[in-house]
Amino acid sequence: EAQVTQNPRYLITVTGKKLTVTCSQNMNHEYMSWYRQDPGLGLRQIYYSMNVEVTDKGDVPEGYKVSRKEKRNFPLILESPSPNQTSLYFCASSRFRDRVGLASEQYFGPGTRLTVT
């Protein structure tokens, strides 16, 4: 079954304690992305990756790191979490568009609800 998996699904942690949220996809997609979802703000992109070893900042990258050492995995790292990073996080992947006019369908993981106290 084609899917994007995230772990953990729920996490409660304290300020400053480093954490990693894993993301894995089995569809051989080139493009992967992390979003956070907050009430009234919608989904905002944190980081994205066009392929292995190629990552770039999204709209709200401060306080986050990512890596793309393998095509299937795209972990999100919070080196020193703070309460304002309490949010619902989604990983997504899509096939790279290879010509104009095609739109990329993004497949989302089930989400990770993070609480930082």
Using CB under 8 A as the criterion, which residues of the chain lie in contact with other proteins when the complex forms? 4, 31, 33, 35, 40-45, 48, 50, 58-59, 90, 92, 94, 96-97, 100-111
**Residue 83 DSSP class:** G
Residue 18 or residue 57: which is nearer to other proteins going by CB?
Answer: 57
CB of 104 to other proteins, least distance (A): 5
C-alpha distances in angstroms, 2 versus 45, 67, 76? 22, 22, 21
Distance CA 104, CA 111 (A): 20
DSSP 59: S
Looking at beta carbons only, is 79 or 96 nearer to other proteins?
A: 96
Min CB(16)–other proteins separation in Å: 28
Shortest Å distance, C-beta 35 to other proteins: 8
* Residue among 26 and 80 whose Cβ is closer to other proteins: 26
Q: Name the token pair of 18.
A: 């480093």
Smallest gap from residue 6 Cβ to other proteins (A): 9
Cβ within 8 Å of residue 7, ≥6 positions away:
21, 22, 112
Helix (H, G, I), strand (E, B) or coil at 85: helix
